[in-house]
Structure 1
């Protein structure tokens, strides 16, 4: 059975051939240290998911028992949502793991179950979903530092628009919202389109009106 033990602080390690990626998190207002670009891509999905309130990488070292031997285990992420808290393990392909690694992950999953937590698994196929992720990465990286005045101006102008509207027409509208505030509105799902299709200047944008709760920054303007 897994041995319950308080996590120790996880030191930042570097390995030959592995380089850290620093992801600029808007939700956490800090840089998240990732061990791969796949982990950084996972962060984009966490930023997009409205129920995720905060998250951290390398949340600690846990003592787990595998075949009656004690091993250190560090999950890749700790995620806190409005409904639950869970850990995530990231791998390129879980079907290609060794028996030893699989046994360690199963023991870790049992360990967290005893704590009343989940250990979730995310691989390349579940994270890098074609145009969906490409669109989110583009929107996220082009929507930084949007101030309250920009959000307010964008929200007011969106209310006055006749929708749907082409992205290109909105971007070139005379005295229209700033480009980054438009991309922020799309990323925050105030404006929506089919994320499975590549975002272009010809993309038709709609206002979301299905009861979805927008982020506080948009509700308060």
Structure 2
């Protein structure tokens, strides 16, 4: 059972909505399936009701400004209306702010009735200074890129980033292009390379499948 987060967004909304514990999905909606995402950032399992939500978790794991997040944190019951709304995510930032996020596949995002409903929720929340961000899948999901991020994320689990500084220093000193295979040949562990790439210290082309020939560069370096 997920603990209902109090304070923050919930406190802001006391005059327009009450928050109750959400019923977490056991079966995915049509065309989706419940997915359990093992979150390093939260040190817990995040239960997502679609693969799209799990893909968004990857984006939240990568962001340095995100310190915590929950899927389906609570259900909001808007006062003096029949509206009930369970946000996909509550995201907590390093600066202390919080934001609700709704993610939809592109077809649902472009559906007028769905967009109108979410827009109405966003308007009600905005009256109390609460931001609801509404994102289409195309904003963060691309099949190859997302698969690459999932691969890097799981490969990075044995690492705590202990080799990141050495990897960055090495690439800064090298004149010739460097591949993942080159780094492996130099004795760097796969998990440490994956950690540095996933968390943004090193950069690769995520639009193509990752192989030993994939070029690696420091974030500030331009590709040759």
TM-score band, normalised by the shorter chain? 0.7 to 0.9
Alignment partner, residue 218 of structure 2 = 207
Residue number in structure 2 paired with 1:186: 197
Find the aligned partners of 1:105 and 1:3 in 2 and give their Cα distance.
19
Secondary structure of 1:79 counterpart: strand
Question: What is residue 13 of structure 1 aligned with on the other side?
Answer: 25
* Deviation of 1:88 (Å): 1.0
TM-score by length of 2: 0.77
Return the alpha-carbon distance in structure 2 between the equivalents of residues 120 and 145 of structure 1.
33
Q: Does 1:131 align with 2:144?
A: yes
Match 2:111 to one of 88, 97, 105: 97
Whole-angstrom distance in 2 between the partners of 1:134 and 1:121: 23
Q: How far apart are 1:6 and its partner, in Å? A: 2.8
The corresponding residue for 2:9 is: none
Distance 1:154 1:88 in 2: 31
After TM superposition, the runs of 4+ consecutive aligned structure 1 residues lying more than 4 A away are 15-18
User: 2:155 is matched with which residue?
Assistant: 142
Structure 1 residues 47 and 95 mapped into 2: Cα distance closer, same or farther (>3 Å)? closer
After TM superposition, give the deviation of residue 160 of structure 1 in Å: 4.4
Tell me by how many angstroms 1:3 deviates. Answer: 6.1
Q: Is the 8 A contact 2:168 2:201 kept in 1?
A: no
**Distance in 2 (alpha carbons) for counterparts of 1:56 and 1:201:** 35
* 1:156/1:120 CA distance change after superposition, 3 Å: same
- TM-fit CA distance, 1:114: 1.9
TM-score (norm 1): 0.78
Matched with 1:219 is: none
Residues 1:155 and 1:105: Cα distance change in structure 2 (over 3 Å): same
Question: How many residues of Structure 1 are paired with residues of Structure 2 in the alignment?
Answer: 201
Closer/same/farther in 2, CA of residues 140 and 71 from structure 1, 3 Å limit: same
Cα displacement string for residues 65-98 of structure 1 (whole angstroms, at most 9, x for unaligned residues): 6xx7422110100112235421111211235536
Cα RMSD of the aligned pairs, angstroms, is 2.6
Residue 24 of structure 1: how far off its partner (Å): 0.8
Structure 2 segments unaligned to the other structure (5+ residues): 1-13
Q: Secondary structure of the equivalent of 1:7?
A: strand
